[in-house]
Structure 1
């Protein structure tokens, strides 16, 4: 769904307001209060007119006191209604975007990794934060307020016509000029707001990427160049905002001028009518109030219409994410008590984009409890193999089976919970060590985590940290060393007790001492589990049951370490290159 910016897009408006259904009673109350405000607003000038003509001109103090009390009650009631209306519409808007943000985030978590490969993270942040806040304005300052203002305008004009229809026509003579100015302003500010939204998306994307990659920026001394880029983006954002403010600075004085024209016509025509005894002084006083009350909602109407319009633009962008079909299908329902761990790739072809295949006709079988090592140069397809096993990406041709069943037949969360993947680049959330291991899984106890930490050899260093397992590792585990973060990832894999284990060269970023600590834990973790190891150091996979050499997505060789050495082919060359080049005797 494209973001057209059309405030009268019925289907889009209906979709936004469907989120108000759980709060329909409050929504109806907001509508009632809106109608009440439209009716109460013109009563004050009418009471003033009645007071002037019936009590002030006749010096009737009792009547004046009585009308003063009546107007005080009216103003109090109007204030109370206005308070409840403002609170209720804002409460409604925030409640709607709370539910919508929940659904958007839930949808994002189900998207395939392919979607994130092509979509900047800053764009998604803008959609789930800034754009959703704009949608909230649809309820607090948008459609309901627009309807209320229109009702108020109609009611005021009705009171004016009732008081004196000729004078009404005179003072409304400049109204066509206001309608023309409002239309021009509406179109101009729409374009300006769209530019503002586009620039804030670029700004968020730039900030997210460069704050995340600050290490690279500083490592290569790119601070000045990146700062210059930021200044350019920030300048365009400022320019877009100034442009929108410029339109306001033109439009509001124009409205005031037109309003003054109406007042001038009122004085001219009213004075003549009073001198001829055709109109009472109370009508003139009330019309002064009517004009001020009439032009205020008209002036705000253009602004509120653009608020509604921008809310619909933002809604279109948000629902565009919601409507994306890049969601991993979860049609499978199979959830056996426990997997054995047999894996079979049967003539698997895979491409990230169209026909540019990353994996070409990959076939192999792995019995339960066996260990498979994948070796090859960068870009050979090793990581792609484990990505499609976890169904992060869908294969193009062939089939992938676990225990003889196509992986698409399994319930997705069950499949992924049965496969533990320990990556070379460990990701830790800004949270405690305990929560980073548990990941909100209530079935995992604190005792299990401590036991796993003890087996991995990490308990000692964790207990030395302030707070122990409650220590906050900060964003991406920045307060831990690479080795410590890797140890936590091993604990996380161990407590989930998977049937299939994937190790993406999990010790490559670990120092020698730490590597020694976890070698026994790795062997324990691999016991009775099917294991796939992505290996860069061939010394770590010599005891694998099966080794596959990949090159440009194709299997070049398959066998044990000794078998592949005897072939004197791809594996032997990799082995010699890695060991002989550093002077190690083979």
Structure 2
């Protein structure tokens, strides 16, 4: 399987802004989160200053207890200088709360301790409340994103799904959106808390000691430079990682869906090799992304530790010189840690944020995909007759490969039009154009004179019933699968449809009858039985226009004869288009169109076309006379 070019991040900044824009409907709650977080951060920021005051009380009490009683602090300082202990004396000048001969004031210490405990409780409570509300904000936003993606998928043309591997698209809708939720959940709260913490701590640092604050700030530009350098390297790696994740999902989904064919043709080894290759690419991309982004924390911690050492050394010198108290230095060291911690955490969250933005870009690519052409307000008449006309229609899937050119045909009301021809002739394309799965590029298609491009797609398709060669049944009972054709159908109507299409014949042989649950793959009923159920579904829909695309290809010969009778009843008073390879199923068609290379080369009924001895006659001979001749030759 050839690999396409690796998707790179489109642009981190605009994509991040657009992702955050998804939170706009929750701005009221976000305002409450900001207020609660600010209160919690304020309580946490003040707490080191309070603990510093408690340290001063303890230290001053211990020093004062060892000084002579009955003298003032100034006299004690003078005595120390006279004794040559100038360093000790300088230190005491910065401790005005010392009383010589008096020990620790435990009452004051207890009051400060209770204040610190109260601040811790307040900080924790408000931070928890902010996180709880923010969780609601994120989940609501992701819910809306999932809803928008689902709505978008309903508006995308069939051509979009033809170009997208199913596993890759499912990865965008599930894995990438889940990753966005995880990234937002883990980063938004921390980012808000850390940014407010930076502002609060920076203010307290300048209040305690402007000199030490300037020393601590030297680490900021170094940290930011390292974060930007590492972040740019990691950004593209995360885009590669999620692209590789989509490739692996596409490979697994494809191999699982075609598991039986893989076994039949003995291609298990090739599938394993393809999976191994994609899995290795995912491993390498994930390792690179996580390794590069993982460098962020150690680098930030190293820079923060250098700042911490500088603050401790300069702070100790200032305590010894009496320019600061021990409690202030203790508080400042805590603030230094608190200051570098938000920078480190923000940097370490860069990998989560970049991963989330890379996923968001992939989801936005789905949301930005070109939609179907706009709907119009025109509607089909209530008494729809079902006259279908193709007027000079041209269409191609690729501009350089013309398919249908200037095709015109008319299907009269109640007639059966059979379309035959070799594979690739454009038979199914005609049906896709009629259903508006694709839009005509030239000419027009009308129903009762109304251009189908002027009819809302839902209304147009509600008047049509379709049975495809590839059956689709959902996980549910047989009754539910038949009733899918017309919501609200009564039990009697469901049984009538089942009886008319011979579903009733095999249902009673099942243990639970119509309540038999069809599994996800429909493996507990045969291919022919699945086809019968889909035909019953179309019968129940009671459409004005009926489309049968190889609808009897999966049934046995006896069932086919029975179905022909059912189809005759089903086609009564309905305009029917029958695509068939087995010519025995279309003998009674009113008009048979023979298509080759997107053009109608012959048309007429069965007898007329045989008599013409053209393309249809050759097709007929290849199916019937050819088989006899081959047997005779053996």
TM-score under structure 1 length normalisation: 0.93
Q: Secondary structure at the match of 2:628?
A: coil
2:272 is the alignment partner of 1:227 = yes
The aligned residue for residue 11 of structure 2 is 6
2:385 is the alignment partner of 1:340 = yes
Gaps of 5+ in 1: none
2:41 is the alignment partner of 1:38 = yes
Query: Match for 2:617 among 563, 572, 575?
Result: 572
Q: Larger RCO: Structure 1 or Structure 2 (Cα < 8 Å, ≥ 6 residues apart)?
A: 1
- Taking structure 1 as reference, are residues 479 and 262 closer, same or farther at Cα in structure 2, changes over 3 Å only? same
Say which is worse superposed, 60-69 or 408-417, in terms of deviation. Answer: 60-69
Contact 1:196–1:241 (Cα < 8 Å) also in 2: yes
Q: Structure 2 matches for 1:71-82, cutoff 5 A? A: 71-82=116-127
Say which is worse superposed, 71-80 or 345-354, in terms of deviation. Answer: 71-80
2:283 is the alignment partner of 1:283 = no
The aligned residue for residue 478 of structure 1 is 523
Q: Structure 2 matches for 1:499-578, cutoff 5 A? A: 499-578=544-623
Q: Structure 2 matches for 1:164-563, cutoff 5 A? A: 164-439=209-484, 442-563=487-608
Cα distance in 1 for residues equivalent to 2:335 and 2:517? 62
1:98-151 Cα offsets, whole Å, 9 max, x none, are: 111111112112221111121221221122122222333464244564343222
Pairwise CA distance, 1:466? 4.4
Contact 2:418–2:592 (Cα < 8 Å) also in 1: yes
Cα distance in 2 for residues equivalent to 1:447 and 1:57? 94
- Taking structure 1 as reference, are residues 257 and 13 closer, same or farther at Cα in structure 2, changes over 3 Å only? closer
Contact 2:473–2:522 (Cα < 8 Å) also in 1: yes
Gaps of 5+ in 2: 1-6, 62-103
Cα distance in 2 for residues equivalent to 1:144 and 1:473? 46
Cα distance in 2 for residues equivalent to 1:466 and 1:80? 59
Q: Secondary structure at the match of 1:465?
A: coil
Computing the radius of gyration over CA atoms, which structure comes out larger, 1 or 2? 2
1:27-84 Cα offsets, whole Å, 9 max, x none, are: 2222223333332331111111122224563322222222222222222222222222
Pairwise CA distance, 1:13? 5.0
Pairwise CA distance, 1:378? 0.9
Q: Secondary structure at the match of 2:403?
A: strand
Greater than 4 Å deviation, 4+ residue runs: 2-5, 12-15
Query: Match for 1:27 among 27, 30, 33?
Result: 30
- Taking structure 1 as reference, are residues 473 and 338 closer, same or farther at Cα in structure 2, changes over 3 Å only? farther
- Taking structure 1 as reference, are residues 82 and 517 closer, same or farther at Cα in structure 2, changes over 3 Å only? farther
Pairwise CA distance, 1:311? 3.2
Cα distance in 2 for residues equivalent to 1:13 and 1:444? 48
Pairwise CA distance, 1:534? 0.8
1:531-569 Cα offsets, whole Å, 9 max, x none, are: 111121112111111111111111111111111122121
Aligned residues: 582
Pairwise CA distance, 1:371? 0.6
- Taking structure 1 as reference, are residues 239 and 496 closer, same or farther at Cα in structure 2, changes over 3 Å only? same
The aligned residue for residue 87 of structure 1 is 132
Q: Secondary structure at the match of 1:477?
A: coil
Contact 2:9–2:236 (Cα < 8 Å) also in 1: no
Query: Match for 2:149 among 94, 104, 113?
Result: 104
TM-score under structure 2 length normalisation: 0.87
